[in-house]
């Protein structure tokens, strides 16, 4: 889950990082009011879950409240890389002397967090890494030792930070690391961290990504999720307790168990490769497969217009196959699916399950016993469609 800039910065502030004291507006009039309260030049910033807002025209300076209102009017509703702007942050404008990049993320290969710093702030860090990788200073952080002050000094000296700012920089880097760890984040980034004309450091942009698997222990953070900014199917899937990832193939896969779902995706990719056919999604419906779960999963799969056939691959272990079959039958009678469906049911009571499915006479449904047979039938169904 990603946080908006304003959410990230408010979180940074809780950990002691200096940020501009702005507010969020949903209408041009509100933006004007906030600018009035700020009482000087402001910057009006689109709040969307994507970077490069500046280049896209989503970050604008305003000298007066009237101008702030005008900018908010043009920015609200703007489409930035497919994200519609519904909120703007109105911050007091900063006088920028220099832009610095400071971020922490997980380095999977090193199996520990890494803090990165660059004097080429403002730019995308991926872009800096491509054109001038030597401009990024990295320090790996041993989680048992934490971020040590000599490491922060190494960053400061690496970017030739003016010496009078080192104390502030020490504090900001330490706070950012605490914020990262205590939020179970996978990314905490300040880009840019600026040196102001007054000679202070200030975080003018912020970005945080949180580990979804740890959100259960951060209710306050979980509540920050902006469901208007994510695809509707992802919200539906999460609320139904399903894990769903959209892919770009044509076979809608409904599988119980993450490992079986991965194997199913592999098999459909292998058999469909020659014809450009593959899985339309990853979908794990979890242990049981009752009618409600299957019906919810069907709706999610069908929301994808690219899906041309459905492949159900269910292993009945604790939940017996006859129960699963009843669930599938009930779901198909509730959600009408015109496209071809291939069902593979294996495990406890699989014969009874298959029998039930056959007797139900669901239109355009075929059954399969092995996974390769199921995958081949699904590919053939897409080709025939």
The site for ligand GDP (CB under 6 A) is made up of 43, 45, 51-54, 59, 61, 91, 93-94, 96, 99, 122, 191-192, 204-205
Q: How far apart are CA 382 and CA 385, in angstroms?
A: 5
Output the six-digit token pair for 315: 């292993």
DSSP string of 240-269, one letter each residue: TT-EEEE-SSSEEEEESSHHHHHHHHHHHH
Active site residue 101: yes
CB of 161 to ligand GDP, least distance (A): 18
Return all residues near 67 (Cβ < 8 A) that are at least 6 apart: none
CB of 194 to Mn ion, least distance (A): 11
Q: Is 48 helix (H, G, I), strand (E, B) or coil?
A: coil
With CB atoms as reference, the residue minimizing the distance to Mn ion is 205
Task: Rank residues 93 and 297 by Cβ distance to ligand GDP and give the closer one.
Answer: 93
Q: Which residue of the set 139, 189, 323, 350 is catalytic? A: 189
B/e letters for 324-340, b = 16+ CB within 10 Å, e = fewer, are bbbbbbbbbeeeebebb
CB of 51 to ligand GDP, least distance (A): 5
Task: Rank residues 8 and 313 by Cβ distance to ligand GDP and give the closer one.
Answer: 8
> Does a cis peptide bond (omega within 30 degrees of 0) precede residue 192?
yes
- DSSP state at residue 335: S
94 binds, among Mn ion, ligand GDP, none (CB under 5 to 8 A by kind): ligand GDP
Task: Rank residues 192 and 252 by Cβ distance to ligand GDP and give the closer one.
Answer: 192
- What is the per-residue binding string for Mn ion in 186-225, x denoting contact by CB under 5 A? -----x-------------x--------------------
Task: Rank residues 36 and 153 by Cβ distance to ligand GDP and give the closer one.
Answer: 36
Q: Is 87 helix (H, G, I), strand (E, B) or coil?
A: coil
Active site residue 29: no
CB of 206 to ligand GDP, least distance (A): 8
CA distances from 369 to 27, 160, 351 (A): 58, 66, 10
Query: Catalytic residue numbers?
Result: 101, 189
């Amino acid at each position: 889950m990603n946080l908006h800039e304003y959410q990230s910065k408010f979180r940074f502030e809780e950990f002691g990082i200096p940020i501009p004291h702005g507010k969020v507006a949903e209408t041009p009039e509100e933006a004007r009011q906030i600018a009035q309260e700020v009482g000087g030049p402001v910057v009006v910033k689109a709040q969307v879950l994507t970077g490069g807002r500046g280049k896209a025209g989503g970050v604008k300076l305003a000298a007066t409240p009237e101008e702030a209102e005008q900018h908010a009017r043009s920015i609200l509703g703007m489409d930035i890389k497919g994200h519609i702007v519904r909120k703007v942050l109105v911050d007091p404008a900063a006088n920028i002397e220099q832009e610095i990049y400071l971020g922490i993320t997980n380095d999977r290969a090193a199996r520990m967090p890494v803090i990165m710093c660059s004097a080429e702030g403002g730019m995308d860090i991926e872009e800096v890494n491509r054109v001038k990788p030597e401009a990024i200073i990295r320090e790996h952080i041993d989680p048992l030792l934490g971020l040590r002050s000599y490491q922060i000094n190494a960053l400061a000296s690496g970017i030739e930070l003016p010496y009078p700012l080192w104390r502030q920089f020490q504090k900001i880097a330490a706070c950012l690391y605490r914020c990262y760890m205590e939020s179970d984040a996978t990314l905490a980034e300040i880009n840019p961290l600026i040196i102001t004309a007054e000679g202070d450091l200030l975080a003018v942009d912020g970005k945080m990504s949180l580990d979804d698997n740890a959100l259960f222990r951060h209710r306050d953070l979980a509540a920050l999720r902006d469901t208007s900014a994510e695809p509707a199917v992802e919200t539906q899937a999460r609320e139904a307790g399903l894990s769903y990832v959209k892919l770009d193939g044509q076979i809608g896969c409904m599988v119980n168990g993450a490992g079986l779902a991965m194997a199913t995706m592999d098999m459909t990719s292998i058999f469909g490769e020659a014809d450009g056919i593959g899985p339309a999604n990853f979908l794990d419906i979890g242990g049981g497969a009752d009618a409600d779960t299957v019906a919810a999963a069907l709706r999610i799969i069908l929301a994808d217009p690219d899906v041309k056939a459905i492949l159900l691959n269910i292993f009945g272990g604790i939940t017996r196959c006859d129960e699963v079959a009843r669930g599938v039958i009930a779901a198909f009678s509730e959600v009408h699916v015109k496209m071809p469906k291939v069902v593979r049911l294996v495990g406890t009571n699989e014969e009874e399950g298959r029998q039930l499915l056959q007797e139900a006479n669901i239109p355009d449904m075929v059954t399969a016993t092995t996974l390769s047979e199921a995958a081949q039938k699904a590919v053939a169904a897409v080709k025939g469609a």
